[in-house]
Amino acid sequence: MISYKLAKQLKEAGFPFKSHLESVYVMDGKTDVSPTEIRLKALLVEGVEVLKIPTLEELIDWCGGGFGELGHWKGGNEAGDWQVISGIGQGMHNVWGKTPSMAVAKLGLKLHSDAKHEYTQSVKRELNQLHD
């Protein structure tokens, strides 16, 4: 499972959260919140932030062609035992996490951040060409 902080980063990066019966949620930093508890608290407290925890499959799908491979290494890294490597042509990112989902979520954030940066750079190049 990923943390509330990482779920919030995914939301800010535009992760396409989809809800289904098996969904797990985090609310105000508390993980594994039941849908009933969410509804009750939402009725009683204004401004409660509820985030869905994506499945590993959803995270891999979000990485798209950037997902390369996922491996488990005992004592792997201070960031965790799970390593995910992006596919060739994606800048070869090497990301670690405490769980498979955390590692893949971090890779997705990195890939989407890179894509956003590349898009911004291409727009700047086009604008510079217009001014030349």
Q: What is the reported pTM? A: 0.68
> What Rg, from alpha-carbon coordinates, does the chain have?
18
List all residues 6 or more positions away from 84 whose beta carbon is below 8 Å from its beta carbon.
Answer: 67, 68, 69, 70, 71, 94, 95, 96, 97, 100, 103, 104, 106, 107
Q: Which two tokens stand for residue 91?
A: 């800048």
CA pair distance 66, 86, nearest whole angstrom: 5
Domains and CATH numbers, the chain: 4-131 (3.30.2120)
What is the identity of the amino acid at 42?
A
pLDDT at residue 43 tops 60: no
Question: pLDDT of 9-20, one tens digit each?
Answer: 888 888 887 665
What proportions of the chain, in percent to the nearest 5, are helix, strand and coil?
45, 25, 25
Strand residue runs (E) in the chain: 24-27, 30-33, 50-53, 67-77, 80-86, 94-97
Question: pLDDT of 78-124, one tens digit each?
Answer: 778 999 988 765 568 888 999 999 999 999 998 888 766 565 666 66
